[in-house]
Amino acid sequence: MQNITVLGSTGSIGKSTLDVVARHPDRYRIIALTANRQDELLFEQCRQFRPHFAVLLDEAAAERLRKRIAATGLDVEVSCGNDALVKVATLPEVDAVMAAIVGAAGMRPTLAAAEAGKKVLLANKETLVLAGHLFMDAVRRSGAVLLPIDSEHNAIFQSLPHDYAGNMMSSGVSKILLTASGGPFRNTPAPELQNVTPEQACAHPNWSMGRKISVDSASMMNKGLEVIEAHWLFNAAADDIQVVVHPQSVIHSMVQYVDGSVIAQLGNPDMRTPIAYALAWPERIVSGVAPLDLFAIAKLDFVAPDLDRFPCLTLAYQALRAGGTVPALLNAANEVAVDAFLNRRIAFLDIPRLIASVMEAVPRAEVRRLQDVLDADAAARIAAQAWVGQNTK
Ligand code: NAD
Ligand code: MG
């Protein structure tokens, strides 16, 4: 029996995780569930999974949940705030932590789970973008087991040698081929991108996801963040990670070897596959995902990314190469830009403009401790908000 904390249980990844867990009550027990402010859904999840702890970031939402829990006689301790998130990510009785909070907000509890030596099921890619070095150091020091949930990285993990220890050359790996769907605007002509709406950006052709990552997919910043994520997870240089646009999203990524072999992982685009893989690793369990119907798919296409229409990808490679706090600046600027776009304050094409301007305006620093990252994140958010203020539609 594995005891599990789900950080961000009311989100897209959180719900998919609970869907897989519910299929295996003999293997997994939920110890803690957390959310930002969706107390109603969290209450329903508490009723179904009977965790010991429920955490909401928002105090008023926590108070509402506390009242409902008391009225139903459930034995769930409700708390609120960031310290409570860290606490449920590090409880001694917890074996595995699903890190599925969106954005930099997920960094503290995710890092804490790694420091506490938990099995970390990592969906929150922003933690690696912000503080990849510190996070990977924490994993090594504590002996935490790190399993990537992001479908591409889960596919790469499955396609690498099982004893891969972070040295591509000695493992005979020549390249990581990171696939991208191209998002909802893959074929949208450049002039039309200026006026696309949040609704269009969030209507992903293959994947159903939270709003932030949906916009990231539309701008291809998601792929940029994933290049940085792959760099830290697999110790791969920027030049060794190649983005391949593959519109069907059937191949989730590939590893190319020096002998000419390419190993890929395929499956329907449903996050329950990587979630089930990580939960049960090194075993395999049923996930609820339908078998892949190759005859229905019939063909697989591959094209190079269009860097002119999707400059976010170039910005992410630049940030990775610059190193230090620059990826943290990129991430913070992107979070502010996506939020402003979703709130119709800036246009879609302003997203890369804003990010480039912040990366230029805020000086790069080395990352020696967490505070360096937090300072960079804060400075970038101030610069980004100022940019939004000057460029609001
Ligand atoms: P989502 O928006 O659907 O859910 C986010 C969850 O985090 C919710 O439970 C929300 O309540 C919680 N949350 C939001 N802000 C918070 C805050 N400030 N403090 C505490 N909790 C907060 O997002 P998602 O699509 O499930 O994505 C979660 C993470 O997984 C992201 O980092 C994303 O990049 C990554 N990811 C998602 C997918 C996917 O298919 N959805 C695929 C790969 C990676
Ligand atoms: Mg992905």
**Atom 9 in ligand 1: which residue has the minimum CA distance?**
8
Q: Whose CA is nearest to atom 18 of ligand 1?
A: 105
Q: Please tell me the distance from the alpha carbon of residue 150 to that of residue 162, in angstroms, as a whole number.
A: 18
First to last CA, the chain: 54
Whether 281 is in a domain gets the answer no
Report the pLDDT averaged over residues 32-44: 98
pLDDT of residue 137: 98
User: Looking at the structure, do residues 102 and 178 belong to the same domain, yes or no?
Assistant: no
**343 located within any domain:** yes
Chain segment 10-33, per-residue pLDDT in tens: 999 999 999 999 999 999 999 999
- Residue 208: the pLDDT is 87
Q: Which ligand is nearest to the CA of 179?
A: 2
Closest-CA residue to 275 (of 149, 362, 190): 149
Please tell me whether residues 336 and 250 are part of one structural domain: no
Burial of residue 306 (number of CB atoms within 10 Å: 0-12, 13-18, 19+):
middle
Which atom of ligand 1 has the smallest separation from the CA of 214?
Answer: 25
Distance, in Å, from the CA atom of 205 to the CA atom of 211, rounded to the nearest integer, reads 14
**Counting Cβ atoms within 10 Å, is residue 93 exposed (0-12), middle (13-18) or buried (19+)?**
exposed
- Across residues 55-61, what is the average pLDDT? 98
Q: Find the 41 Cα to ligand 1 centroid distance in Å.
A: 15
* Domain membership flag for residue 81: yes
What's the pLDDT at 314? 98
DSSP code at position 303: B
Would you say the CB of residue 210 lies under 6 angstroms from ligand 1? yes
pTM score, two decimals? 0.98
Ligand 1 centroid distance, CA of 257 (Å): 33
Report which bound ligand comes closest to the CA of 226: 2
In a domain, 65, yes or no: yes
Is the pLDDT confidence value at 393 over 90? no
Residues 331 and 242 occupy one common structural domain? no
Q: Is the CB of 8 under 6 A from ligand 1?
A: yes
Q: How confident is the model at residue 311 (pLDDT cuts 50, 70, 90)?
A: very high
Does 283 reside within a domain?
no
Residue 262 shares a structural domain with residue 346: no
Nearest residue by C-alpha to atom 41 in ligand 1 = 209
CB of 150 within 6 A of ligand 1: the answer is yes
Q: How far is the CA of 392 from the centre of ligand 2 (A)?
A: 30
- Which-ligand-closest: CA of 99? 1
Question: Considering its fold, how many domains does the chain have in total?
Answer: 3
Q: Are 7 and 24 in contact (CB under 8 A)?
A: no
Ligand that lies nearest to the alpha carbon of residue 41, given by its number in the listed order: 1
Dig out the tokens for 334 from the structure. Answer: 């992107």
Of 148, 181, 197, which residue sits at a domain end? 148
Give the C-alpha distances (Å, rounded to integers) separating 26 from 168, 201, 386: 38, 40, 52
Query: For residue 98, is it within any domain?
Result: yes
Band (205; pLDDT cuts 50, 70, 90): confident
Q: Is 288 exposed, middle or buried (0-12, 13-18, 19+ CB in 10 A)?
A: middle
For residues 186 and 85, state if they share a domain.
Answer: no
Residues 245, 213 share a domain: yes
Out of 102, 126, 148, pick the residue that ends a domain: 148
207 pLDDT above the threshold of 90: no
What is the residue type of 261?
S
Mean of per-residue pLDDT scores for the chain: 97
Sheet with 28-35: list strands edge to edge. Answer: 77-80, 53-56, 28-35, 2-7, 96-99, 119-122, 145-148
Same domain, 131 and 210: no
Both 142 and 23 in a single domain? yes
Write the CA distances from 105 to 8, 73, 196, integer angstroms: 11, 31, 27
Residue 6 sits in the same domain as residue 141: yes
Do 123 and 169 reside in the same domain of the chain? Answer: no
Alpha-carbon span 340 to 350, nearest angstrom: 10
Answer whether residue 224 is part of any domain.
Answer: yes
Q: Is 275 in the pocket of ligand 1 (CB under 6 A)?
A: no
Distance CA 40, CA 227 (A): 36
Q: Is 138 in the pocket of ligand 1 (CB under 6 A)?
A: no
pLDDT at residue 369 above 90?
yes
Count the alpha carbons within 13 Å of 206 in the hemisphere toward its beta carbon: 22
Q: Whose CA is closest to 21, among 4, 43, 40, 39?
A: 4
- 303: in domain: no
Residue 46 CA to residue 82 CA, distance in Å, equals 20
Q: Percent of the chain, pLDDT > 90?
A: 98
Q: What angle do CA 373, 326, 310 make, to 5 degrees?
A: 130
Question: Same domain for 185 and 238?
Answer: yes
- Any idea what the CATH number is for the domain that residue 378 is in? 1.10.1740.10
The number of the ligand 1 atom at minimal distance from the alpha carbon of 123 is 30
109 touches ligand 1 (CB under 6 Å)? no
| CB under 5 Å of ion ligand 2: residues | 150-152
- Please state the atom number of ligand 1 nearest to the C-alpha of residue 8: 9
- Are the beta carbons of 169 and 161 closer than 8 angstroms? no
Q: Is the pLDDT of residue 324 over 90?
A: yes
Asked if the bond preceding 282 is cis, omega within 30° of 0, the reply is yes
CATH number at residue 45: 3.40.50.720
Q: In whole angstroms, give the CA distance from residue 155 to residue 255.
A: 9
**Among 222, 242, 268, which residue terminates a domain?**
268
At residue 255, what are phi and psi to the nearest 5 degrees? -125, 125
User: Which ligand 1 atom is the nearest neighbour of the CA of 207?
Assistant: 40
Q: pLDDT band at 319, cuts 50/70/90?
A: very high
Range of the domain at 191: 156-268
- Calculate what percentage of the chain has a pLDDT beyond 70: 100
- Domain match, 69 and 198 both: no
Separation of alpha carbons 40 and 65, rounded Å: 7
Ligand 1 site, residue 35, Cβ cutoff 6 A = yes
Pocket test for ligand 1, best of 209, 212, 289, 334 (most atoms within 8 A of CB): 209
Kindly report, residue by residue over 117-161, the tens digit of the pLDDT. Answer: 999 999 999 999 999 999 999 999 999 999 999 999 999 999 999
At 183 the pLDDT is 95
- Ligand 1 contact via 249 beta carbon (within 6 Å): no
